[in-house]
Structure 1
Amino acid sequence: MSFQAHTIAILKDLEQNALQLDNAQAMKLISQIRNAKHIFLQGAGRSGIAIRAFANRLVHLGFSVSVVGEISSPHSKPGDLLIIGSGSGETSSLKSLAHQAVENGVEVALITMKSDSTIGQLASSVLVLPGKMKTENDRQLIHFSQPMGSAFEQLCFIVYDAIVLELMDQLGETSQSMFKRHADFE
């Protein structure tokens, strides 16, 4: 397969997965975001990179946001929201974080491939992104498949941007109004 063919196959794979997204799950997460006093976000590995980009856009929309582990992150309070991006929903550090959030009265939202995971059971909302776990055997799949969890992480970026677009519509935000909140010290 050529480079261009690989690129097209990836896009088709993502399109097929995107067609399986549950709008009601997404809208519940969007409602939680709008109602949260403060939003904490965390993911591990490549999922963590995607969720950090999402945190950045939420700041541009005017939300009070922190990435867990940053030194400037405030103490959590009831009424806050913790959004976790985890394909498996079983990453040890993220499970511990979700347990702590629930103990502190913080709502947990999970973006995952496994709604019945440990974190999924703790979460008040779960947005399932179809895809293949990085530990699943490629030979079990009939259609084109990317290695490990690549499709999940790529779809995370797209889904997070779709959530931002929906929030922009709901809040009456534009690229121009968001740019006023963009970092000027770079």
Structure 2
Amino acid sequence: MKTYYENSQAVVAELGQLLGKVSEEQQQEYAQALLQAEQVFFVGVGRVRLALEAAVKRLTHLGIHCHMVGDLNEPPITDKDLLVVGSGSGESLFPLGIAKKAKTFDARIVHLTSNPESSIAQLADVIVRFESPSKSSQAFTSIQPMTTVFEQGLLVFHDVLALQLMEEKGMTFEQLKANHANLE
């Protein structure tokens, strides 16, 4: 039986492997799409949705107008907007249906996935590939169950991306803090 320390080191190594293989070009395309969009909508299911909710919170602090698909205050999407679809397999029914619907409004689509050949990828304008296990492929054998490393990767990836976007926007930590919720 492995110790907590051994497992934590293995998980950190897996995340390092995952994040280290994200294409700089794909990441840059995504960053520019976020900055150019009037509004950014995010969709994912399960733990992917949770990771994307954290991204929405942080990107909102950066002054990017973000929404989760399905939230009560979700406005309509337009051709000036971006839909970010998180799905490791790229075949999850709800995100696929939302991507198809967004295309009817001429919104741009970014797909965060481990399967760049997926049905959702076929609709995407930008694909960011995470080499990780998914329902459709095994990029490597993870010590973690199912698609955990993909979900963790989405969370950490967006935190790293936020640092880059802060720099590109010339924002300080104080400016970021000024956009933080204050009813806490």
TM norm structure 2:
0.95
Shift of 1:136: 5.7
For 1:121-145, what per-residue CA distance to the aligned partner results, in whole angstroms no more than 9, with x for missing partners? 10000000111114667xx95x653
SS in structure 1 of the partner of residue 174 of structure 2: helix
Percent of matched pairs sharing the same residue? 28
Shift of 1:19: 1.8
CA distance in 1 between partners of 2:81 and 2:7 (Å):
41
Residue 180 of structure 2: aligned partner: 182
CA distance in 1 between partners of 2:151 and 2:27 (Å):
17
Equivalent residues in 2 for 1:129-148, closer than 5 Å: 129-134=130-135, 145-148=143-146
Size of the aligned set, in residue pairs, is 183
Shift of 1:147: 1.1
Equivalent residues in 2 for 1:92-103, closer than 5 Å: 92-103=93-104
CA distance in 1 between partners of 2:58 and 2:116 (Å):
25
Matched AA of 1:163: L
After superposition, the Cα gap between the structure-2 partners of 1:156 and 1:132, relative to the gap in structure 1 and judged at 3 Å, is same
State whether residues 115 and 137 of structure 2, in contact with CA within 8 Å, keep that contact through their aligned partners in structure 1. no
Equivalent residues in 2 for 1:18-167, closer than 5 Å: 18-134=19-135, 145-167=143-165
State whether residues 42 and 52 of structure 1, in contact with CA within 8 Å, keep that contact through their aligned partners in structure 2. no
After superposition, the Cα gap between the structure-2 partners of 1:118 and 1:71, relative to the gap in structure 1 and judged at 3 Å, is same
CA distance in 2 between partners of 1:159 and 1:93 (Å):
23
CA RMSD in angstroms, aligned pairs only: 1.5
State whether residues 134 and 147 of structure 1, in contact with CA within 8 Å, keep that contact through their aligned partners in structure 2. no
After superposition, the Cα gap between the structure-2 partners of 1:47 and 1:169, relative to the gap in structure 1 and judged at 3 Å, is same
CA distance in 1 between partners of 2:168 and 2:136 (Å):
38
Q: Which runs of 5+ in 1 are unaligned?
A: none
TM norm structure 1:
0.94
Q: Which runs of 5+ in 2 are unaligned?
A: none
